[in-house]
Amino acid sequence: MSHANSPRIVIIGGVAGGASAATRARRMNERASIVMLEKDGHVSFANCGLPYHIGGAIQDRAKLLVAKPEMFRRRFNIDVRVRHEALAIDRAAKVVRIRDHAKGVVYDEPYDKVILAPGAAPLVPDLPGVRAPGVHSLRNIEDMDRILADLPGVRRAAVVGGGFIGLEVAEQLRERGLEVSLADRNAQVLTPLDPEMAERLRRELLAHGVRVHLGSGLAAVETDAKGRASGVRLEDGAIIPAELVILGLGVRPSNRLAVEAGLDTGPTGGVRTDAYQRTNDPDIYAVGDAAEYSLGTTGGRGRVPLAGIANRTGRLAGEHAATGMSAPAPAAWGTAILKVFGVAAGITGDSVKSAKARGLDVRAVHITANHHAGYYPGAQSLTFKLVYEAGTGRILGAQAFGGAGVDKRLDIVASLLHFRGTVADLAQVDLAYAPPFGSAKDAVHMAAFAALNDLAGHAPVAAVDADLAGFQVVDVRDPDERAQLPLAGAPHAIAIPLNELRTRAGELDRARPTVVACHSGLRAHVATRLLRELGLDARNLSGAASLRDLALNRPSAAPASAASSCSAAKPCGAPGGTVAPDPHDELHPRNVLAEAAGGALLLDVRSPAEYRSGHVEGAVNLPLDQLKPGAVKALMGGGEDRVVLLLCAAGGRARTAAKRLEGSGVRSVVVAGGTNACVGAGLPIRKLKGAVISIERQVRIGAGLMVAAGVALGTWVHPGFHGLSGFVGCGLVFAGVTDFCGMGLLLARMPWNR
């Protein structure tokens, strides 16, 4: 056995925690003998980068290999042994039994200290078909290579699991051009987030053509006649066709060695550790996904399968094993972030739901702001949620989503969490400011200010999903904003634009508790202060209309208690949801393909000539003058649950069609902006032979000719003909106001349009 000043350290696992432990041990003790074992073929690889090589964002595979065995040997004098699997730890004899898979031999390696860093294995449920060819998990380089080898010829992929890895893989497979479906048994994607924050990600997936199935778990993998995966069957009976299936159901700690060696494990299977990551055997440490950590949120210990904490604790364990001393391991706050197409989202610390589950008196505020000064080019919207404790103001956590700047804001709060900061501390943090980088009042400052106002009673906050039925609700947005995004769950809201509130406050009942809403919360704060100064018991709706739409208009939205949630609300055009749309809902064009892929009928109600001139790929034509519920149901092919997406040129005729279908049992949604907007959104458009100009252009030409004729005849024949021009002008105004164009309907019946 080696001397205490030159210990023999055996590290089991050569990725994040293990590699960090090995190099730190060497830097702290040149005399130590260090052996690092890895059962797979690569050490120190970028496992978080694996999805991005699959998608092509990282094209050079070699860049995933952060450090190769030869570098460890030459630079650090570390004996790296790949394809060497640790079979057992004999604590009495102080040896590790090892299998060399390359040579096919088993041998014993003596140790003074062992650092366990075996990581975690993907969860693979014991269900029919999960071992079939075409079904994969993604843990290491070999898994990635197998997926890439399977990709040629694959058209459809199903990703099971809506966590970090599932979302990243779904995004990258979609970027490769595959038809992608994502399924999760939970009611939302990315369950660490609160529902309204996660909903933004679901909509981003739908906007890029990913089909999302929530609330039903995996029941089986379907296979074809050759035994290969052909799809997945969910617990609700739905079948998702797919030639490639990726399981992203989470991970379980690789704790077999520890358990068989008699080391203690916790309730989640993680190896129990102390402040220095030592197990109940002081000569054996555990780090990484298989180990327990100090949890900042609860004060207890548990697993946090993230690379950052694995690297930091691996470094400390390596130092302690090599020298007998180190700083204690830090608390883990679960800080994590990901990108889903154009949206980044992340969390640090507690969510509202996790804090409530622990019995805390939790409060939260939402702030929507630009990620840097709005007047500097390139500013992108950022939504930030700060979670704190009532009474103490102690910061519990934060979440954010947006196009840029999410990482910066989460890192600021993570730092405050580490030092047990309060919202008052956050309000005073001195942040770097210049227009290209931030704002003089950063989003985190604004959130802290709002939290302080809430705690002090200056501007109390109502929860984003609060039941507003018993409140006097004041919507201070302008009419066009209210029309574009109605305030969910508040049909009784009183509309008073902010600039009119002071003079119209007398219209309000001063005895009723009042909730004020705007689009993102800033104007509502001003209104709340004004009304409180006038003696009303007013509070600001956190997140306002935009976040409330995300909170309520999602597949899982349902009535909840008056204390924390609201009554079921009309979907208000929430894109791509499985909630049954109301007749006058409108769908953004970017979501059309996802809905069509999910089984919706895309119905173009323009004239046949317009349809021939260019229509969204997959749309079928049923002119408005022929539209009857029976004809639509015939096109639905017996699929009574299918949603009908209505298209015309710009939306007017589609809305007329939706009105005609009211009460027929047909669930219809108008595609906002019609075919014109779909073209602008980049949807595939198909043109047929024999096309003529659109009805819209024909109306312009016809109206122009009639006006010109009226002017000419009134000038040269009789003044009474000027009335023709006036009549056409009035008709155009009427069409613009009512969205009904009689001339267009008449032209649609002309022979050349049939």
DSSP 254-282: --HHHHHTT--B-TTSPBP--TTSB-SST
**DSSP letter string over 234-249?**
ETTS-EEE-SEEEE--
Same domain, yes or no: 658 and 723: no
**Cα-based distances in Å from 484 to 250, 367, 472, 488:** 39, 20, 22, 12
Kindly report the CATH number assigned to the domain that includes residue 116: 3.50.50.60
**Cα-based distances in Å from 658 to 482, 628, 648:** 21, 11, 11
Same domain, yes or no: 349 and 381: yes
Same domain, yes or no: 26 and 105: yes
Specify the DSSP element, H or E, that contains 76.
helix 69-76
Same domain, yes or no: 100 and 22: yes
Same domain, yes or no: 487 and 443: no
Kindly report the CATH number assigned to the domain that includes residue 643: 3.40.250.10
Q: Are 84 and 100 in contact (CB under 8 A)?
A: yes
Res 599: pLDDT: 80
Lowest mean per-residue pLDDT among 526-535, 636-645, 687-696: 687-696
Lowest mean per-residue pLDDT among 127-136, 554-563, 581-590, 631-640: 554-563
Residue 569 within a domain: no
Residue 126 within a domain: no
Last residue of a domain, one of 686, 706, 732: 686
Catalytic residues: 648
pLDDT tens, position by position, 400-450: 999 999 999 999 999 999 999 999 999 999 999 999 999 999 999 999 999
Name the H helices within 334-405: 352-357
Return all residues near 279 (Cβ < 8 A) that are at least 6 apart: 116, 258, 263, 264, 271, 272, 273, 285, 286
Report residue 375 as tokens. Answer: 């007047």
Same domain, yes or no: 433 and 480: no
Residue 579 within a domain: no
Kindly report the CATH number assigned to the domain that includes residue 445: 3.30.390.30
As for how many domains the chain has, the answer is 6
pLDDT tens, position by position, 316-348: 999 999 999 999 999 999 999 999 999 999 999
**Percentage above 90 pLDDT, the chain:** 74
201-218 residues labelled b (16+ CB within 10 A) or e (exposed) = bbbbbbbbbbbbbbbbbb
Residue 572 within a domain: no
Residue 584 predicted with pLDDT over 60: no
Residue 558 within a domain: no
Higher pLDDT, 599 or 472: 472
Return all residues near 315 (Cβ < 8 A) that are at least 6 apart: 20, 21, 24
pLDDT tens, position by position, 586-612: 777 777 877 787 788 999 999 888 888
Residue 452 within a domain: yes
Specify the DSSP element, H or E, that contains 594.
helix 592-597
Same domain, yes or no: 607 and 621: yes
Residue 581: pLDDT band by 50, 70, 90 thresholds?
Answer: very low
Residue 559 predicted with pLDDT over 70: no
Domain limits for position 714:
695-753
Same domain, yes or no: 116 and 13: yes
Last residue of a domain, one of 194, 215, 249: 249
Q: Are 394 and 388 in contact (CB under 8 A)?
A: yes
Residue 710 within a domain: yes
Same domain, yes or no: 595 and 614: yes
Residue 576: pLDDT band by 50, 70, 90 thresholds?
Answer: very low
**Three-state secondary-structure class, residue 389:** strand
Res 563: pLDDT: 30
Same domain, yes or no: 370 and 300: no
Q: From CA 170, how far away is CA 175, in angstroms rounded?
A: 9
Phi, psi angle pair for 206, to nearest 5°: -65, -40
pLDDT tens, position by position, 119-173: 999 999 999 999 999 999 999 999 999 999 999 999 999 999 999 999 999 999 9
Q: From CA 443, how far away is CA 448, in angstroms rounded?
A: 9
Residue 566 within a domain: no
**Three-state secondary-structure class, residue 651:** coil
Last residue of a domain, one of 431, 456, 481: 456
Calculate the CA 608 to chain-centre distance.
Answer: 40
Same domain, yes or no: 175 and 266: no
Q: Are 161 and 249 in contact (CB under 8 A)?
A: yes
Same domain, yes or no: 270 and 350: no
